[in-house]
Structure 1
Amino acid sequence: MPPTQTDIWIPDRRAKLYLWLSGVFITCLILANVLGVKLFRFDLNLPLLGHIKVEHTTGMLTFPVTFLLTDLLNEYYGKKGARRVTFIAFAMGALAFIFIWISRQFPILEGIPGTADEKSYELIFGAAALMYIASLIAFLLGSLLDIFLFAVFKRATGGRMVWLRATGSTVISQLFDSFIVTFLFFWAIPLVLNQDKATLGFVFATALTGYILKFFIAVGLTPFIYLGRWLIRTQLGIQPLPVAKS
């Protein structure tokens, strides 16, 4: 008897969870790149570090979610499963960029209430193009490093100390991510396009302040890693993968 549609649709809970985690992860990546055109700034007074001016893009609003999902994907689906989602997310981000670029080539119909004029549309999506490219590249490299380090820490601790592999892999990989995206957007890409570029001092300062914010976010998310594991275990009955031997 041939299988019915119900029989072949999402065979088990682990596969369903993978789809949900992947879908939210990809959505957050695309949102981060679209929202990244807006910059924000606020001041922080931190113990030991003193007064810090934080300047970054609003694209980092989705970072806490992607940090958490990366760790859960690593924990329950291993390096291969996490890498697969990373490459799919990168491809979907590139696809979104292509369609955004195509939409900018269409002649605009002016004078319709509630719609953007040419200048406003280009201001948002045109200005976001370079940031989009820089963010995608930094995301891919940073995520692959995160996945690698997570596996290294998990193997080195024999599967113990969840906080170490979750937080440790994130704070290290995001150091690279922060400097890569800032360097590409403010210096390397403008250099290639023969545009005005920022000074390396500005690049370093901007990347550092952005990383400090990401660092505290990553540390603050540690309890949510344990909460996510608890919910998946108690509500879905799914256990993390055992420690890989190699």
Structure 2
Amino acid sequence: MATIQTQTSPNLEINPHAFSRQQLVYVWLAGVYITSLLLANIVGVKMFAFQTTWWPLEDGLLMHTMGMLPFPITFLLTDLLNEYYGKKAARRVAYIAFSMAALAWVLIWVSRALPTHEGIPGTATKDAFEIIFGGASLMYLASIVAFLCGTLIDIVLFGVFKRLTRGRFVWLRATGSTVISQLFDSLIISLLFFYVFQLLEGNNPNLRDAINIAFTGYVLKFLIAVAMTPGIYLGRYILQRSFGLKPIRLPGMTV
């Protein structure tokens, strides 16, 4: 405990390490954000596919990486952080998340390089470890680069829409910024992993396949972003009613 002096309390004791409720919310949002990004990159090596009668590409085969499951959580949290803590705070979390993801990528690379001791039940063989993390390594790198580019674009667009609408139409700035920024995210990750990195490894990738996967990813992200629009309102309700947060006001805002 520390003792400070004020006009009303000459000997007020405070805990110098205590966080306010608003600061704790920021820490928790950042933690969930980083976890979602890391998990999306780790499971992204697996592909899913569904045969449909309505999908226009690949004879109706809808396919993408499993990173599509946890990654949309970052859409919602980016908007909430931007709305209640400002663009600098949102960028800070994005940079921290990118740094932690890059650190994880380095540690995975080191783990692959270390000699493997096999034969102990419950542990992975070298081949099994390589199958998962060897392929994930390049996907991971492409994913975090695309993530940072897309997120920074999202943060800028969110502020632009907020100023243009003078703080009104929450759904427009939340959904609009996401659907535009994720176009860049989808193109970057697909072109890097499915085309550029494959060329660098001496393979003969098909640019059309890379673009098809980017298109599939973007359509899925678009649909998810629209479906998650009620989530921004629920998040606003919880943050305002339960934790007393108020949206950041920009010059010219009327609400």
TM (normalized to structure 1)? 0.93
Separation of aligned partners in 2, 1:6 and 1:19: 21
Match of 1:230 among 237, 240, 249: 237
Match of 1:135 among 140, 143, 157: 143
Secondary structure, counterpart of 2:15 in structure 1: helix
Separation of aligned partners in 1, 2:211 and 2:102: 27
Aligned residue pairs, count: 244
2:39 is aligned to 31
Structure 1 alignment gaps of length 5 or more: none
Deviation at 1:11?
Answer: 3.0
Q: Which has the larger helix fraction?
A: 1
Separation of aligned partners in 2, 1:67 and 1:157: 20
Residues 74, 82 of structure 1: 8 Å contact kept: yes
1:172 is aligned to 180
1:198 is aligned to 205
Deviation at 1:210?
Answer: 1.3
| Counterpart amino acid of residue 237 in structure 2 | W
Separation of aligned partners in 2, 1:46 and 1:7: 60
2:194 is the counterpart of 1:186: yes
Secondary structure, counterpart of 1:22 in structure 2: helix
Structure having the higher Rg: 2
Separation of aligned partners in 1, 2:211 and 2:60: 14
Secondary structure, counterpart of 2:45 in structure 1: coil
Separation of aligned partners in 1, 2:45 and 2:55: 31
Structure 2 alignment gaps of length 5 or more: 5-12
2:120 is aligned to 112
Deviation at 1:47?
Answer: 10
2:2 is aligned to 2
Deviation at 1:200?
Answer: 1.2
1:17-51 CA distance string (max 9 Å, x none):
110111110111111111111011113455999x8
2:51 is the counterpart of 1:43: yes
- Aligned CA RMSD, in angstroms, stands at 2.2
Residues 187, 200 of structure 1: 8 Å contact kept: yes
2:220 is the counterpart of 1:220: no
User: For residues 10 and 200 of structure 1, do their structure 2 counterparts lie closer, same or farther at Cα, with a shift above 3 Å needed?
Assistant: farther
Separation of aligned partners in 1, 2:60 and 2:14: 55
1:196-243 CA distance string (max 9 Å, x none):
142111111111011111111000000010000001111111111112
TM (normalized to structure 2)? 0.90
Residues 33, 97 of structure 2: 8 Å contact kept: yes
| Counterpart amino acid of residue 21 in structure 1 | L
2:55 is the counterpart of 1:56: no
